[in-house]
Structure 1
């Protein structure tokens, strides 16, 4: 057979036993969602939060768990659904897969972030006062007696579940939408960090949330995948979640 047929062009000829690069390197798969997907998840989060607040004016322990968990979980689940319907799934679109290198990177950066966040929180409390430095979740739980099982569920949500869901939104959908617009990584990092801080809808704590978000965004940027930022976020949330658990169980003063 002459060289240069349709099956083997001249410029792609290869030695016997070799596999052409074009057959071993899969084509890049791009997603079909953008900023609208992120805004949709934010709208769902806000709408569900408002509806639950209107339905449960003075929540008991059971409804308190629903009010804390349902908006965040629904928004995170919607983010995953969007990647499945309009993309390639969270593993390819977000890089959400188990890699020890990402886990160790997330633990290392999250540990550094935990130290800086703790110092920043102490300074922030001294500057604005304890009442103004209180998070929305802390305010919602203030003075509420929780059964041990409920307290543990809320602890696990704040420590593990909420960081995962928030990362799906901010360093997943939002990050990916800006990458699709061909923004530089530094610009994506800066804007997603700012939106994360503002999106918590806690104006008194926005500056503190910026400090909290920086190491989490760094973990996403240096690895290029979501797993590291999820782990870093969970490390950052561990001490606040543990503090709320101990207060709820009466082991620490409120």
Structure 2
């Protein structure tokens, strides 16, 4: 008679490593309120920085230092608030914001980013023809237009617009907001797939409107679609981050060359 063998321990499984998009990570305790907090941090910090820096003298351009601080600080603080919320009320940013890294996601992000770059370039051309070149420019472009920067400042702005800014914005919109929408469909039979579609639609619309540039909202919707598709297809945030960075590369490069006085927009 053989003795009973002790039960072997069951290995822990990371839900984010399981194949398929129907596997739901551990639930978190935050929802739309978390996104509203991040947006409040964005708007409040933008207002505070603007008041702190003040307005330039009449007829003088905005100082380069003010452009850099005013551009980068609000979005970075809002993204930081989003990350802190996931630690406080959830499982941390890796799980809650779907930040698991996979090379397959990077490839999808690159492909959709290139597609988005082509669509955005064509859309910008058409939009400029409709509303005029001056009105089609972004708020950041308007700040640095005809205002040469130092090499250091121009490179910092380029790196932010190309690499850092997309990470911050994706954490807020395709991370915090997306998962807040998805959370509404958890545990509701076959509604989780439609929850992802709803998250794609809502985050795309709010991303476009959240830039607070009404004239460019339609164009920003075009920009946001391929980025959102990267998140929808993979179910994870790195794909949309890569797609966003690819989409921002040429505009950031053009802004870099303009800031250095090499070319004019």
Question: When the two structures are superposed, what TM-score results if normalisation uses the length of structure 2?
Answer: 0.85
Distance in 2 (alpha carbons) for counterparts of 1:120 and 1:16: 67
1:114 maps onto 2:117 in alignment: yes
- Alignment pair present for 1:95 and 2:98: yes
Q: Which moved more, 1:203-212 or 1:88-97?
A: 88-97
> The residue matched to 1:146 in structure 2 has which SS?
coil
- 1:1-254 residue pairs with structure 2 within 5 A? 25=13, 28-56=25-53, 57-58=55-56, 59-182=62-185, 184-254=195-265
- Shift in alpha-carbon separation, 1:127–1:18, aligned structure 2, 3 A: farther
Gaps of 5+ in 2: 16-24, 57-61, 186-193
Match of 2:189 in 1: none
Structure 1: which 5+ residue stretches go unaligned?
2-14
TM-score by length of 1: 0.89
State the match for 2:21 in structure 1: none
How many residues were matched structurally?
Answer: 240
Partner Cα distance (1:126, 1:175) in 2: 33
On the 8 A contact 2:182/2:199 being kept in 1, the answer is yes
Q: Tell me if structure 1 keeps the 8 A contact 2:158–2:256.
A: yes
Show the counterpart of 1:12. none
